[in-house]
Amino acid sequence: MTVEVKSAPPPLTARQEARRRRILHASAQLAGRGGFDAVQMREVAESSGVALGTLYRYFPSKIHLLVATMQDQLEHLHSTLRKRPPAGESAAERVAETLMRAFRALQREPQLADAMVRALTFADRSVSPEVDTVSRQTTAIVLEAMNLPGPPTPEQLAAVRVIEHTWYSTLITWLSGRASITQAGIDIETVCKLIDLTGPAGRDGPADPHYRR
Amino acid sequence: MTVEVKSAPPPLTARQEARRRRILHASAQLAGRGGFDAVQMREVAESSGVALGTLYRYFPSKIHLLVATMQDQLEHLHSTLRKRPPAGESAAERVAETLMRAFRALQREPQLADAMVRALTFADRSVSPEVDTVSRQTTAIVLEAMNLPGPPTPEQLAAVRVIEHTWYSTLITWLSGRASITQAGIDIETVCKLIDLTGPAGRDGPADPHYRR
DNA sequence: CGCTAACCTAGAACAAGTTTCAGTATCGAT
DNA sequence: ATCGATACTGAAACTTGTTCTAGGTTAGCG
């Protein structure tokens, strides 16, 4: 018997790729106005010119669809960020700057952000692999912003995880109207100080972390 | 015209109070096995001996119901914690200990935890006030664990907010099977270091924060 | 070309959250 | 004790995510 863990998905034909794109586009479109609730599976199917059953073949649930939409958007964001890397002095500053930039990007499409983030946090175990991909993408973005000279230490990875937790959580509280953008910014800056805490102890850390006060 | 912001809800009669309790009990019961999906409104109504319409009069949505269930459980937890306060040296240690204790409590009822947390993060604006209450309860628990000599500084409040973000977010990743309890514990400890960062700069901080390495 | 398996479509059907409605019971005040 | 207002019940209806079915289409291959 052939054991085939992590079997690669069969490559999609051009038409299939196109369908997939149309679906993701329709999803983002509908989410853009109306947010989570406006992304109705029948609507997505119709706007992307695909039968409902087919939609479910490509994305086994609404949550899967929206998480995939998030992956898609994150890729855009990532490549945008790569073009103009953050300029801060310390790693903490650069990370905070990057996250705030991402925040402003989401601010321009709050409904889309709402749909994606709600899906992400509502996802149950059946969506773990996809959510994990999103998590890895986020980690990659943060690590890139830190611009470390070498591989991150375990402490730094721990700090990054906490930063991500905070990032998504502030996003949620902002989206549900329980915190202002300002508040979110403060929280992001607060958590980024953790980097300075691990940094100097790391291999050779950021240049001259000047603590205020 | 009488402007009546924040009008107090009319006091409930004894029978109404009893109904409310029965509903919350049924909700926790069903959530306890089966998690979020097992809390079906028709079932809740039936098990608490109330008509579906009545259930909706008490809790305008499933999310409202589960968030209220969470408030209820948090009260239990809070009073339990008050009886045996954490014994750590520094504020950071005490907070970490408290949160880990809470974690273990949830571990005993993972399905219930799942239902409550999913509801909390899925909540939209219409549930803001209730979610806010939960947030305040959590803040109170953390601040109590810190056991500060006076009112918290703004930095300390910022740290507490970040800690809460991390707390809920680790909970989510644990519940969705993407991180182990161990991992969650590490993240909690990591973020609690933020307290030591604000503490010494604060009014008079914890005694002797000994940084490892 | 012609075959076969996999894929796609249209639409019905089902499940669970939510709303609605007509009738009945309860509450508070007179 | 009675009356009007409010709350509760039981049941049906509506919405949207999800599943299922029967038949048509496409892609790869001999």
Q: Which residues does nucleic strand D approach, with CB less than 7 A?
A: A 13, 15, 37, 39-42, 52-53, 56, 60-63; B 10, 16, 19, 49-54, 57-58
Q: Does residue B200 have a pLDDT over 70?
A: no
Nearest residue to A34 (alpha-carbon basis) of A50, A21, A47: A47
pLDDT digits (tens, 9 = 90+) for A165-177: 999 999 999 999 9
Averaged pLDDT for residues B130-150: 95
Q: What residues of A are in contact with residue B165 (Cβ under 8 Å)?
A: 165-166, 169-170, 173, 187, 191
Q: Is B128–A213 a contact, with Cβ atoms under 8 angstroms apart?
A: no
Q: What is the mean pLDDT of residues A176-204?
A: 82
d(CA A106, CA A109): 5
Q: Where residue B212 falls among pLDDT bands split at 50, 70, 90?
A: very low
Are B136 and B77 in contact, with CB atoms under 8 Å apart?
A: no
Which of the pair, A5 or B49, is modelled with greater confidence?
B49
pLDDT at A40: 98
Dihedral sign, CA of B72, B77, B78, B83? positive
Picking from B138, B191, B210 by the largest number of A CB atoms within 10 A of its own CB, the best residue to mutate is B191
pLDDT-derived band at A201, boundaries 50, 70, 90 = very low
Residues of chain B in contact with residue A193, where contact means CB-CB under 8 angstroms, are: 194, 197
- pLDDT value of residue B164: 95
Interchain CB distance below 8 Å, A193 and B190: no
- The secondary structure of B119-178, three-state, reads HHHHCCHHHHHHHHHHHHHHHHHHHHHHCCCCCCCHHHHHHHHHHHHHHHHHHHHHHCCC
Q: What is the pLDDT of residues A8-56, one digit of tens each?
A: 666 778 889 999 999 999 999 999 999 999 999 999 999 999 999 999 9
| Confidence band, pLDDT 50/70/90 cuts, at residue B13 | confident
Q: What percent of chain B has pLDDT over 90?
A: 82
Residue A148 in this model has a pLDDT that exceeds 70? yes
Q: Is A38 on the interface with B (CB under 8 A)?
A: no
Say how many CB pairs under 8 Å bridge A and B: 99
Chain A residues within 8 A of B152 when measuring between CB atoms: none
Domains and CATH numbers, chain B: 62-198 (1.10.357.10)
Residue A59 CA and nucleotide C15 C1' are separated, in Å, by 20
Mean pLDDT value across chain B: 89
Quote the pLDDT of residue A2.
43
Q: What integer pLDDT is reported at residue B1 of this predicted model?
A: 52
